[in-house]
Amino acid sequence: MAQHKLIVNESDVTEVTLAAMAPTPDARLRQIMEAFVRHAHDFVRQVDLTEEEFEYGLQFLARIGQANTDLHNEVTLAADVLGISTLVALRNNPCSHGQTASALLGPFWRQHSPDCRNGDTIARSNTPGEPLLVCGQVRNVNGRPIAGATVDVWQASPVGLYENQDPEQEVMNLRGKFLSDDDGRFHFRTVRPAGYPVPTDGPIGELLRAQNRHPYRPAHIHFMVSAPEHRTLITQVFADEPEALATDVVFGVTRPLVGCLERRASPKAWASEGKDGPAPAPQCRLEYDFVLQPGVPTLPEPPIE
């Protein structure tokens, strides 16, 4: 058994801690934990952390975990508002081969969205709002269409609430899964989403108020696009005012993911997308194509049930 050095003063703590973890057999775990300890100890020294601040920080972390429920994930929200989720997404999903930019998953994805046919609406409840047609194509990095890709979509309502937050909405309202056709194309109907505040009734809301930060996200639609032999793409497409895009509370907006809403005055244009009869005016159209890179499709752990 290895002899461990006794701590004489605070300068010894980091060295002794790292020595205790050195026998970790998993090399990647050892690397991660060594880096974490070094950065955490450096943080304590850099800010000269007091015992009172340390105690409050531990209580704050505990309250983040205690705020988690089946329908709300405060831990994911914490990672989002600190920019960690976006940083991890961008570092692990570079766009160097022309693939679509990634974005954070967010705290509201649910795994078992209803299967839909192209042209269906995901607005199942009485969901007043401006009608929106969303369409696009799924391709590989060589430009070839991908048939049979799963396009999983979810969004907030025009009042800024996801269905799990709003008792007025039916279960799985504004959620759905679509399959791309032989040309890689998909389209569905919905209502135009609105920007919304992230939940602020927990410890993360306290943090935002202490930092004098607003809690708002710009209007967007979430997409998770997957296909055999391709990496799963988790992203968002945004459509909002420039100031809202530039001040997203979770730093999720990147320039390639800003879509363009096109207003369409003709009911025939709506019908031409595969639905009989005119849609209520006014109408909006959002078209966005997705490019997948080769790889193994995977699903993330759902943040809520």
Residue 272 confidence (pLDDT) above 90: no
Cα–Cα distance measured from residue 236 to residue 154, given in angstroms and rounded to the nearest whole number: 10
pLDDT in tens, 196-253: 999 999 999 999 999 999 999 999 999 999 999 999 999 999 999 999 999 999 999 9
The DSSP call for residue 297 is: -
Cα–Cα distance measured from residue 126 to residue 166, given in angstroms and rounded to the nearest whole number: 12
Residue 143 confidence (pLDDT) above 50: yes
Cα–Cα distance measured from residue 89 to residue 219, given in angstroms and rounded to the nearest whole number: 20
Residue 125 is predicted with a pLDDT of: 87
Residue 261 is predicted with a pLDDT of: 85
DSSP conformation letters of 114-133: PB--TT-BS--S---S-EEE
Residue 289 confidence (pLDDT) above 70: yes
pLDDT in tens, 119-142: 999 998 888 889 999 999 999 999
Q: Name the CA dihedral angle for 180, 185, 186, 192, rounded to a multiple of 10 degrees.
A: 150
pLDDT in tens, 148-167: 999 999 999 999 999 999 99
**pLDDT level of residue 270 (50, 70, 90 thresholds):** very low
Name the percent of the chain lying above pLDDT 90: 83
Residue showing tokens 């004489």:
8
With a CB cutoff of 8 Å and minimum separation 6, the contacts of 209 are 200
CB 161: neighbour CB atoms within 10 A? 19
Closest by CA position to 256, among listed 273, 283, 233: 233
Residue 279 is predicted with a pLDDT of: 47
